[in-house]
Amino acid sequence: MPKARRRHSTVFIASSLIMFGGFDGNFYNDLHILHTNKLAKERILVSKSTLHLDLASTVNESELSDIEFILGTESD
């Protein structure tokens, strides 16, 4: 059974209840599937997303981005 949590995503598809992630003081990155028409339970571990890191590296790469942010002080 999955641990009790909040902020998860749950959807009911084709007689199955599918729950992803959540938070209880720790962030969960797991996927649980409950088939309502049979007794089988299934747990799938999903690796953490690196989308935020990929996006940051793309935005900071001058050849891949048409916007470049430069932070600093103005000197006269």
Task: Note whether 33 and 18 are within 8 A (CB).
Answer: yes
Is residue 18 a contact partner of residue 44, using CB atoms and an 8 Å limit?
no
What is the per-residue pLDDT for 12? 92
Q: Is residue 47 part of a domain?
A: yes
pLDDT at 59 > cutoff 80? no
Residue 71 lies in a domain: no
- Which domain, by its residues, includes 31? 9-59
Residue-wise pLDDT tens digits, 11-44: 998 888 888 888 998 888 888 888 888 766 666 6
On whether residue 64 sits in a domain, the answer given is no
In a domain, 29, yes or no: yes
Measured CA to CA, the distance from residue 11 to residue 31 in angstroms comes to 11
**Whether the predicted pLDDT of 47 surpasses 80:** no
What confidence category does residue 46 fall into, taking pLDDT thresholds of 50, 70 and 90? low
Q: How many domains does the chain divide into?
A: 1
Indicate yes or no: pTM above 0.75.
Answer: no
Task: Classify residue 48: in a domain, yes or no.
Answer: yes
